[in-house]
Structure 1
Amino acid sequence: MTTVAAEGLGPVEDLAFARVLLDSVKAGRRGATLRMYRPAPTLAFGARDRFLPGFATAIEAARDHGFTPALRSLGGRVAAYHPGSLVIDHIEPSDSFITNTNARFTGFGEDYVEVLRGLGIDARLGEIPGEYCPGEHSVNVAGRIKAIGTAQRVVSG
């Protein structure tokens, strides 16, 4: 796996670079890639978010609070990033991109839990009541605080 170590590039540029990496892996120009970075304050909207009522108001509120609104081609709903966040883009080709979705979510979640436990954190896999963007593959701390939300954008490659 290739690692890409870079400072955050800027809100729009970070999202665009994630797409470049995905397209490069999909086209076979690079193998599995892992990129981690600390983002600038960004409110990253998913493509479907722009059709929701209140989208323009959300963009204005983001700017009012020091976040750059941006539209991302990868991911689902809106996500807020800030310098206290760590964004992990794990991209790898797969022949079984249509199947094995649950296994991928579980595997990555278990990997994150293992790493955090190795750091002495009481990490657990599973949804906690009231979490944003709930999911059974969320990683939490002590069953109280959501630490990691996972998402997939799967393409052939």
Structure 2
Amino acid sequence: MRLLRGGALAPEDTRRILSWVAENDEAAIRVWQPPRQVVFGRLDATEPGYETAVERAASHGFETLERRVGGRAVAYTGRTVAFARYEPIDDARRGIGGRYEALSEDVARALDAVGVDARPGEPQDSFCPGEHSLQDGGKLVGLAQRVTEGAAVTAGVLVLDGHEAIGRVLADVYDALAVPFDPDSVGSVQRSGGDVDAVLPTLETALARGTSPSVLHLRQI
């Protein structure tokens, strides 16, 4: 298994990593903190209020991006954690549920280790609602998956701190999109009383299943 290091990911980087994983038949993990931005989903871009939502995000000092997959807007403060596990696969039609379950359990184990009792599910009217989430009073983690020929990536967002700032910007954004959202539904490791400073290394260890993966820089792929 490889631990990926490097700067912010662009869509083409994800494609390159998936191709590398498939070609080398080797899993990889990555944990990083994207810059301050709101990332809109494909569903958001079809809404009449999308342009207004983009303007509102900018008014809060957030850059905006659009991802090619479904789902709703997610906000990163610059400290919000993104993570991903890339795995080689033989059949794109199988294993989706198992990968979601395994990643959810590993992330929950990491949160438990830093003092957060996260459990599956999410509060009502939370950001980027989906079946695969973790909560502790508020939503802490949301997961998504992408499958290609030969490789799959199961990834997610973990709110470290700054839940109030995320709630404020998404309240305006979701209002423009006419999507229900409760700012108080945003949780964080800090809000749950967890050890914020221990999250990144603990999460890396959990995603690597306790192994010590060798480091691979993105520029080498």
Q: What TM bracket, shorter-length normalisation?
A: 0.7 to 0.9
What's the counterpart of residue 50 of structure 1? 45
Tell me: CA distance 1:99–1:57, structure 2 relative to 1, closer, same or farther (3 Å): same
- Report the number of matched residues: 150
2:149 is the alignment partner of 1:115? no
TM superposition shift of 1:3: 0.8
2:35 is the alignment partner of 1:35? no
Kept after mapping to 2: 8 A contact 1:4/1:34: yes
TM superposition shift of 1:156: 2.1
What's the counterpart of residue 4 of structure 1? 4
Report the TM-score, using the length of structure 1 for normalisation: 0.81
2:60 is the alignment partner of 1:65? yes
Higher helix share: 2
Kept after mapping to 1: 8 A contact 2:39/2:73: yes
2:149 to 138, 148, 156: 156
TM superposition shift of 1:89: 2.0
Q: Deviations over 1:96-133 (max 9, x none)?
A: 32223222211111111111112222121223333223
2:132 is the alignment partner of 1:146? no
TM superposition shift of 1:30: 6.7
| Unpaired stretches in structure 1, ≥5 consecutive residues | none
Q: Percent same amino acid at aligned positions?
A: 35
2:100 to 75, 89, 105: 105
Report the TM-score, using the length of structure 2 for normalisation: 0.60
**Higher relative contact order, chain-length normalized (CA < 8 Å, sep 6+):** 2
Tell me: CA distance 1:121–1:85, structure 2 relative to 1, closer, same or farther (3 Å): same
What's the counterpart of residue 18 of structure 2? 22
